[in-house]
């Protein structure tokens, strides 16, 4: 049985005081929740203060990005070891905003995934098609290409530790959520891709989150699908009430 995993991607939002206040509130409300993994992913400059705010709670810390090199002359970048040092368990990699706004390629994401695994961080690897790709019936081709490119050279035991987030780009920040059926179809397809490349055991153990306009109102339907193992939440993770409202959608 896969343990559900709900993570908040705060993106480039909040300030120091509001980030700490949100983390403290989520940590407090998470105390009474069992049977789910929770994480918050603040902007990197607030990782340290948020780490302190969630210390000893059920809420883990994740970063939104990292660089693949271990150290050196890479101005502005942050290594996997630094994220571990500051208390991160997770790192979001290959988010569509990094792919489409910052120009990250599957090859870039792949280097980061391998470096994160090496450092014992759990990568949350994001995949998702653009609207024209969906409309052209190319969704699974895009997902397969991103999966193969972003996860090249990943061994079976490493794959079992990775979290995948299916985030259709047209559903991110748009209020247009994928229907539970649309999401489930891609999640099932992804599990088949994993099974073909590795084996059934690995495919059954990998957690696949859905991301894209998840809210308390649609969470239960999405999270009730057999192959949707959690959510990567953007906008609705910026308030403890809506983030915990999504967790409540698991019906635990």
- Contact footprint for ligand 13P (CB under 6 A): 9, 95, 167, 172-173, 211-214, 232-236
Nearer to ligand 13P by C-beta: 150 or 213? 213
Nearer to ligand 13P by C-beta: 110 or 209? 209
Least Å from the CB of residue 228 to ligand 13P: 14
Burial of 189 (C-beta count, 10 Å sphere; 0-12/13-18/19+):
middle
Q: Is 157 one of the catalytic residues?
A: no
Helix (H, G, I), strand (E, B) or coil at 181: helix
Least Å from the CB of residue 152 to ligand 13P: 23
Q: Which of 68, 167, 184, 187 is catalytic?
A: 167
- Residue 5: closest CA among 195, 165, 155: 165
Output 219-224 pairs: Cβ under 8 A, ≥24 positions apart: 219/245, 219/246, 219/248, 219/249, 219/250, 220/249, 220/250, 220/251, 221/180, 222/177, 222/180, 222/183, 222/249, 223/4, 223/249, 223/250, 224/180, 224/251
Residue of minimal Cβ distance to ligand 13P: 234
Nearer to ligand 13P by C-beta: 163 or 214? 214
Alpha-carbon dihedral sign for residues 109, 192, 225, 162: negative
Q: Which of 95, 97, 133, 184 is catalytic?
A: 95
Q: Is 68 one of the catalytic residues?
A: no
Least Å from the CB of residue 196 to ligand 13P: 26
Least Å from the CB of residue 56 to ligand 13P: 26
Catalytic residue annotation = 95, 167
């Amino acid at each position: 049985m896969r343990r559900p995993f709900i993570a908040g991607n705060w993106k480039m939002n909040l300030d120091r005081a509001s980030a700490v206040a949100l983390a403290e509130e989520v940590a407090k409300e998470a105390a009474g929740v069992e049977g789910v993994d929770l994480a918050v992913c603040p902007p990197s400059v607030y990782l340290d203060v948020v780490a302190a705010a969630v210390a000893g709670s059920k809420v883990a810390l994740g970063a939104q990005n990292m660089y693949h090199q271990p150290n050196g002359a890479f101005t502005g970048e942050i290594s996997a070891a630094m994220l571990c040092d500051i208390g991160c368990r997770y790192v979001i990699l290959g988010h569509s905003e990094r792919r489409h706004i910052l120009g990250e390629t599957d090859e870039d994401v792949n280097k980061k995934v391998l470096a994160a695994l090496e450092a014992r961080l759990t990568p949350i690897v994001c995949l998702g098609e653009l609207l024209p790709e969906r409309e052209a019936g190319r969704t699974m081709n895009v997902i397969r290409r991103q999966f193969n490119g972003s996860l090249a050279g990943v061994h079976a035991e490493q794959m079992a530790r990775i979290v995948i987030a299916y985030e259709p780009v047209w559903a991110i920040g748009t209020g247009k959520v994928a229907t539970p059926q649309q999401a489930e179809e891609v999640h099932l397809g992804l599990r088949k891709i994993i099974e073909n490349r590795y084996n059934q055991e690995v495919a059954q153990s990998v957690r696949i989150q859905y991301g894209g306009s998840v809210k308390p109102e649609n969470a239960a339907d999405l999270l009730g699908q057999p192959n949707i193992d959690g959510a990567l939440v953007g906008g609705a993770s910026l308030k403890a009430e809506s983030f915990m409202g999504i967790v409540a959608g698991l019906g635990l």
